[in-house]
Structure 1
Amino acid sequence: MTRPGLVVLEERAARHPGRRALGVPAGVLRTARPRQWIKNVLVAAAPAAAGQLDSRHTLRQLALVFVLFTAAASAVYLVNDARDAAADRAHPQKCHRPVATGQVPVPVAYAVGGLLALLAPLGAALTCNAMTATLLTGYVVMQLAYCVKLKHVLVVDLVVVTAGFLMRAMIGGVALAIPLSRWFLITAGFGALFMVAAKRYSEAVQMEGRGGATRALLDAYTTGYLRFVWQLAAGVAVLAYCMWALESGGMAGGSLLPWRQLSMVPFIGGILRYAVFADRGSAGAPEDVVLHDRALVVIGLVWVALYGLAVADL
């Protein structure tokens, strides 16, 4: 949006102060990125991997952790948009964000973001345990450092975004005091790096030859390097998952078929299917890729079914 367009929006808001006041909460909600909240379902990953989703206490605790992590992630989005408001106004898509258009004043975004950043770890300390609060505090500090500085540091930006996904996958287990398998951590970490690098690669492919990359550091990466990263990460994630699935003593031995071992098939199939979009340069936001590809949804459901059978020991 150009500067004159922003002036028009401000003039309209001045003529209708009541409408603007009602629009601020809605704008804050939009800035918190509700579509991104689906990623926080990863808080159930560790308990699911350990086969411990069969009690009301566990489900209640995971619902609470989901809310706390969503609040922490929303805090980061609000602060990020407040910091980048001026730059976003010059971007063809980001100019429509509520903070960039003036629907949410910058001080309000900072205030709500700061409040959520404080309340999320405090809520974890009061309702979960000290390790959960520490992990959530570390997530908030790391992501805010990313907004301020780390997104401008080569390679470190990939590590920070990947670490954010890994923390999501870990926190459910931490809150419920579930031991985290080394293979689970490797699979989750490199699986996250695969999706992050695939998204960066797709952005680089789409911007190649155009110039003026809009994401920090995107011009500093070559498409060859990003392709190497997502291919390496995919290979390590598949290997770690296979080692985890074949690990002895993970499930009881009375099941009709080796369901956990069979779950390797849809897992590998899902990685290969996702890699198709990465190779084409069309792997955007992970949640968009997964939810908008019917084959990936079916593969995911097959994996859930097989792993569910393994947990139930049928």
Structure 2
Amino acid sequence: MTEAVAPKTVGVIGGGRMGAGIAQVFAGLGGAVTIAESGDAEAALQRVSTGLDRAHERGKLGDQDPATVLARVSVVGAVSSLPPSLDLIVEAVPEIAALKVEVLAAAETVAGERTVIASNTSSMSIAELGAALTDPSRFIGMHFFNPVPASLLVEIVRAPQTRPEVVDSVRAWVSMLGKAEVLVNDSPGFATSRLGVGLGLEAIRMLEEGVADAESIDRAMELGYRHPMGPLRSTDLVGLDVRLAIAEHLASTLGDRFTPPALLREKVARGELGRKTGQGFHTWS
């Protein structure tokens, strides 16, 4: 068995907060990273630059200079413009099934025979998304957590079709990133989203019913169960719109226990999406 090596070339589809974070950590390994972003390319690159500056301030880049790492990152406007035969392509677009299927199919057209294609989905079936590919055996879930550079966990999701050697490569790459992995079999919500969303929805129902205020609910879990962050603050960090989309998907696949509370829908409709808008269940500066 050959020793695993870090991916030398990586493509990331989507230059939002998650995509930029994924690009940052792989560039930190020394590889060339190309982000496919159909929107604001400069904003995507700026997210990576800001993340690298923060990592440098916290001593997380070792002896690497942020500018040197940033020079390994480039942005193109379409998936079809990604370099051919990359070692790894990670899809990190919003949790919209049709959009993910579209970009994954496009990714396969530029992939080489050995390219691993991964989705950063937090809840959607890897087997169902992989049906968009002519070779689903190369496809796997790599569920990173926000903020990607600081988070220690990557949830690796194995579909029935995923080849064992693909799983082995991804597990090795996650270790090289300095992160821990949990390997789960394909199921709606996997392990993390299913548990996290379940707890978050119940906390929202408690707030809705007047059991306690948001600060008290969060402190109860932080101090009583040693959670580093309460479920409502965690929902703010993830994004209320993201959590709503995941809950709707889980409700459609796993049943009514994941039906989103009215309060969550109301806040999303008002644009109170959490930290990214300054207001969610808490106020963020």
User: What is the TM-score when the length of structure 2 is the normalising length?
Assistant: 0.33
RCO higher in 1 or 2 (8 Å CA, sep ≥ 6)? Answer: 1
Q: Normalised by the size of structure 1, how large is the TM-score?
A: 0.31
User: Could you say which structure has the larger radius of gyration?
Assistant: 1
